[in-house]
Amino acid sequence: MSRKEVPRPGLVKLAVAGQITNAQGAQSAHLSIRQFQRLKARYRTEGIHGLRHRRRGQPSPRALPRAVRTRVATLLQSVYRDVNDCHATEKLQEVHGMAISRASVRRIRRALGLPAKHRRRPRPYRRRRPPALRMGALVLLDGSQFAWLETRGPTMTLLGAIDDATGTVVALVFRPAEDLHGYVTLLAQLAARHGLPLSLYGDRLSVFVRNDRHWSLDEELQGAQHPTQFGRILRELGIGYIPAGSPQAKGRIERLWRTLQDRLVVELRLAGVRTPEGATAFLPAFLADFNRRFAHPAAHPTPVWRRPPADFAPVLSCRYRRTVATDHTIRLGGRWVQLPRGAAGRSYAGVHVEARECLDGRLLVYGPGGERLAVQPWTGPDFTLRPRRAPAPRSRRASATPPRPASARRPRTPRPSRPVRSPRPTATHPWRQPYNHHLLEAKGLHVHTKTRG
């Protein structure tokens, strides 16, 4: 009997003995009174075996016919022997016209003892992460590329930061793509409105963490890779970074994108915004209304935001090490800076300095002692902060003189090919001949023998 049928014999016996009524037995067995009466009648004629279900032991009406199972087993062993279950089900439905499910195909394959093409990985264990207790303890970062202006403007990427303790959206930035300039701008807005958090939580984007396997000699000596430009900024500000192992790990900001893609798109449409500049100007008012509706108080009322340093702009920069040329200039990409004369006419030629390219486009040069040597403002179009590659060594740099065209070069005369010598002597080589003392004496060659005296 099944687990549901186990209490029935005792209840039926009590009802037959007149100790309980049919209504009481039917209520305890979770049956109708009429069905309970049928069980009593079967018990009187067949005994306890009459209480079992009448369909027990009979084939299921939804089972596959034997001919279909045989046909599927033949195809799985011949035509589709190296096809996965899902793909085989599609072929059986589309090509052979069989109404069969993937679970049935899997059961037939396992009954035949055939191994699966791909091992089914179990779902990973995920543990719910409790939110931070104080506001500013943990801030989640991410970006979402979406048609925020629908058909009225270009597709943009919205970079956002949300506080983990309160669900407050602390900063939003529209960018053409997910880049370093956008995240540094996001950090600048966060510091200006609230302060510096204790930790940031984001994905493993190359802006945040190193994803390459290259190790320089300095990195091998110190046992760790140098951080990215954004990682250097966080390290100087004392902000930790936690890389997420999966999108589910930062689910709070992933759910934020679903809400913004529903609400912000409609608000931009109602406001008639058509340009990226107008969308950026619309964000402060939208943030105030959004946080008023959806933010909630933290478990602990005291926030832990930290005040940014006084000289905050030079920290939000990309840093490079350069060597001063003999004309007291340094070059960074297509930009060059003329260094002034040092104290008491000091020369900086050959000295290693640090060049910082700031978020606003300024280029700052710092000496070996940390003193600021020169400042160059940005005079071009809109500036975009992006990491530059390190300069190539002297042996790999391009030559100052352009190469001559092929028509001006002297044609080379092909050299005659030399015969390839065998690395081992041939069989007729004298070195390969055996030593014969009598043959040398017959040819009149004197053989000097060394005697021991």
153 phi, psi to nearest 5 deg: -155, -175
Tell me, what's the pLDDT at 424?
74
Domains and their CATH numbers in the chain = 8-51 (no CATH), 76-119 (no CATH), 138-199+251-294 (3.30.420), 317-390 (no CATH)
Question: What is the DSSP secondary structure assignment for residue 70, as one 8-state letter?
Answer: H
Tell me, what's the pLDDT at 247?
84
Quick check: helix, strand or coil at residue 196? strand
Taking the C-alpha atoms of residue 87 and residue 28, their distance in angstroms, rounded to an integer, is 49
Residue pLDDT, tens place only, 259-318 = 999 999 999 999 999 999 999 999 999 999 999 999 999 999 999 999 999 999 999 999
- C-beta neighbour count of 160 within 10 angstroms: 21
Tell me, what's the pLDDT at 443?
58
Q: Model pTM?
A: 0.66
Indicate the pairing of strand 317-323 with strand 352-358: antiparallel
Tell me, what's the pLDDT at 265?
94
Tell me, what's the pLDDT at 124?
79
What CA dihedral angle connects 49, 54, 57 and 58, to 10 degrees?
Answer: 160
C-beta of residue 232 within 8 angstroms of C-beta of residue 385: no
Quick check: helix, strand or coil at residue 331? strand
Tell me, what's the pLDDT at 242?
95
The token duo for 228 is 């990215």
DSSP class per residue in 36-84: HHHHHHHHHHHGGGGGS-TTTTSPPTTSPPHHHHHHHHHHHHTTTTTS-
Residues of the chain with pLDDT below 70 are 390-423, 430-431, 434-453
Q: Which residues of 200-210 are buried (b: 16+ CB within 10 A; e: fewer)?
A: bbbbebebbbb
